[in-house]
Amino acid sequence: MTNSATICIFIPLTGPVLERLFDSYAAAGCDLERKRIRDELHKGISQQLLGAAFAWKTLAYKVARLNNSLGNEASDLAVLLNDAVRDLQNLMRY
């Protein structure tokens, strides 16, 4: 019969080890939240703005037939909407 002994060593998670572990989990959580927000922006707001930009451009063409000056103003607003969509899409890439 052999005698064996088991030794348990408890290493508390404090100091640099705990900080690295916490930083790792925090970074992973931030990445997940960033991805969630990016997906929501893409599926929701970006698509709605893009639809509004197309609709506004169509409206600008129709208005231009009735009044060229108002048509130009409406066209300028369509450009503004398109720029907002482009800026939002660029923001979602990062």
Query: For 47-85, how does the pLDDT look when each residue is reduced to its tens digit (9 = 90+)?
Result: 888 899 899 999 999 999 999 999 999 999 989 998 988
pLDDT, residue 13, reads: 65
CA atoms within 13 A on the CB side of 21: 7
CA end-to-end span of the chain, whole Å?
65
pLDDT, residue 12, reads: 66
pLDDT, residue 94, reads: 65
Residues 6-45 have pLDDT tens digits of 887 776 667 777 788 888 888 888 889 888 888 888 788 8
Residue 77 CB partners (closer than 8 Å, separation 6+): 56, 60
